[in-house]
Amino acid sequence: MLHQYAHHRDEHVDAVRTRTDAYLEEHPALAERMSSTWWVHHFLLDLAPITPENFGSGHLLALIESEYELASSGSAARFGLYKQAMVALRSVLELGLLYIYWDTDDDAHRAIQNWLRGSEQTPHEREVRKGLARIPGVARYLEHDPRFLDDLQHLSFELGAFVHTRGRAGSIRGLNPTTNFPSFSATAFERWVEMAERVVRGVTALHLMKYPIGLQVTPLSEKFGLNPPAGGFVEPAVRDRFRDYLDPDMRDRLQLQSDDDPAAVAMREQIDAMPDLTEDDWRDHLRAQDQFLIEGMGYEAWRASRSIIRDHLDDAELAAREAYEEELRQWAVQEGCVDGPPQRPI
C-alpha cells in the first residue's frame, strides 16, 4: 500500500538531500545565511514578554508556530520540495505578523483566546495591517519608511503565488522545470534562501518596533546568572545578531527609535544599575541548578549525563569536580534521590 501515497521515491528525495548538503558545504556563506535566518527568528521568542498574567495563556502560539513553519520550510527546501517550502514561508510571515497584531495593546493573552480555541477566523490581512499601524513604534517607523507595510503586503502577495499556484511562476515547474520528480536546483534553493531572509527580516523589524528594548544592551548573564527574566529581554550577543541581520538603513532607524524610547532606556538603565554576580554567586546558581536536575532525574543519571565534562579537565580541575560531585551525592542521599526522583508522600 505504501506506493499508493509515497509518490516521491526515497532515492530521489535522498539524492536531493545529498546534493543540497554538498552545495551548502561548497557555499559556506549561503549556509551561514540560513543559520542566521533560523537563529534570528528563534530569538524573537526571548524578546516576547512573559508576565505572571500571560504565562501559560497560549499568547505565544502564533510565534511558536511561525518558528515551526520556518523549520518545515527549510526541510522541504533541503529535499527539493521548493514550492512547498515557499508555501510554508507564507505561514512564517503571516503568523509572525499575527503575534504582534494580537499584542498591539499588550494584551495578547486575552485577544488571542477565541482564535486559540478555533472559534474565531484568522483576522484578514487588512485588519492585521490596520492594527499594526496603531503600534507607536510602527507608526513612527512609517514616518521614515511609509512603504514598510506595503512591502510586507507585497511579500505576502509574492508568496501567495505558490499557495494558489498563480500561473507558471507559482508552480512546481516554475521553480524547477527540469523534471517531474524532486531534483536539486541551485537557482530554486537560493531563491528560497533569499525569500526566507526577506520574511524573517520583516518579522524581526516589526518585533523591534513593538519591543524596542531588543536593541538595548542588557547584560542578562552578568546580572542574573542562570535566572534571567523569562522573556522581554535579550542578551547583548542576540541584540548584535538582530542588528547584523537587518539592512543598514533599517538597523540605524530602529536603533534610533530604541534609543529614544523612554521605557526601553529605563529598563536598560535598571539592569545596568544591578551589581554583577560574583564567582560565589555563580557557584550558588550552578549548585542550585544541579540540585534541581538531580531532584528530577536522580543523582546517578545526572552524574552520567555530565560525564563528558571530565574528558576536558586537567588533574586539579578533575579533583575539584569529583569533590563537588561527592558533595552533591551526599546531599542526594539525604534527599532520597540517588537512583531517581525522591518519593514524595501523596
As a whole number of angstroms, the distance between CA 235 and CA 217 comes to 7
Residues 149 and 217 in one domain: yes
Query: Does the structure show a pLDDT above 90 at 240?
Result: yes
Mean pLDDT, rounded, for 31-41: 97
Degrees, nearest 5: CA angle 121-66-46: 120
Residues 104 and 209 in one domain: yes
| Residues 106, 73 contacting (CB under 8 angstroms) | no
Residues 329 and 252 in one domain: no
Is 301 contained in some domain? Answer: yes
Q: Which residues, at least 6 apart from 163, have a Cβ–Cβ distance to it below 8 Å?
A: 87, 90, 170
Query: Does the structure show a pLDDT above 50 at 121?
Result: yes
Residues 120 and 173 in one domain: yes
Residues 265 and 285 in one domain: no
Q: Which helix (H) or strand (E) holds 296?
A: helix 279-297
Q: Which residues, at least 6 apart from 267, have a Cβ–Cβ distance to it below 8 Å?
A: 213, 216, 218, 233
Residues 255 and 323 in one domain: no
Tell me what pLDDT residue 8 has. Answer: 60
Which of 272, 288, 312 is the C-terminal boundary of a domain?
272
Query: Does the structure show a pLDDT above 60 at 108?
Result: yes
Is 289 contained in some domain? Answer: yes
Is 62 contained in some domain? Answer: yes
Domain residues for 325?
279-335
Query: Does the structure show a pLDDT above 60 at 68?
Result: yes
Is 342 contained in some domain? Answer: no
Is 340 contained in some domain? Answer: no
Residues 313 and 235 in one domain: no
Q: Which residues, at least 6 apart from 216, have a Cβ–Cβ distance to it below 8 Å?
A: 239, 258, 259, 264, 265, 267, 268
Residues 209 and 311 in one domain: no
Residues 145 and 244 in one domain: yes
Residue among 87, 39, 89, 32 nearest 66 (CA): 89
Q: Which residues, at least 6 apart from 35, have a Cβ–Cβ distance to it below 8 Å?
A: none
* Sheet strands (E) in 188-333: none
Is 344 contained in some domain? Answer: no
pLDDT by residue (tens digit) across 169-212?
Answer: 677 766 766 666 788 999 999 999 999 999 999 999 999 999 99
Residue among 216, 232, 182 nearest 14 (CA): 182
Task: Enter the C-alpha cell of residue 123.
Answer: 483576522
Which of 272, 303, 323 is the C-terminal boundary of a domain?
272
For residue 246, is it left (φ>0), alpha (ψ between -120 and 50) or beta? beta
Is 121 contained in some domain? Answer: yes
Long-range contacts of 340-345 (CB under 8 A, 24+ apart): 340/297, 340/298, 340/301, 341/295, 341/296, 341/297, 341/298, 342/295
Residues 287 and 266 in one domain: no
Which of 255, 272, 289 is the C-terminal boundary of a domain?
272
pLDDT by residue (tens digit) across 287-331?
Answer: 999 999 999 999 999 999 988 888 889 999 999 999 999 999 999
Per the prediction, the chain carries an average pLDDT of 92
Task: Give the amino acid at 11.
Answer: E
Residues 242 and 288 in one domain: no
Long-range contacts of 321-327 (CB under 8 A, 24+ apart): none
Into how many domains does the chain fold?
2
Is 214 contained in some domain? Answer: yes
Residues 168 and 216 in one domain: yes
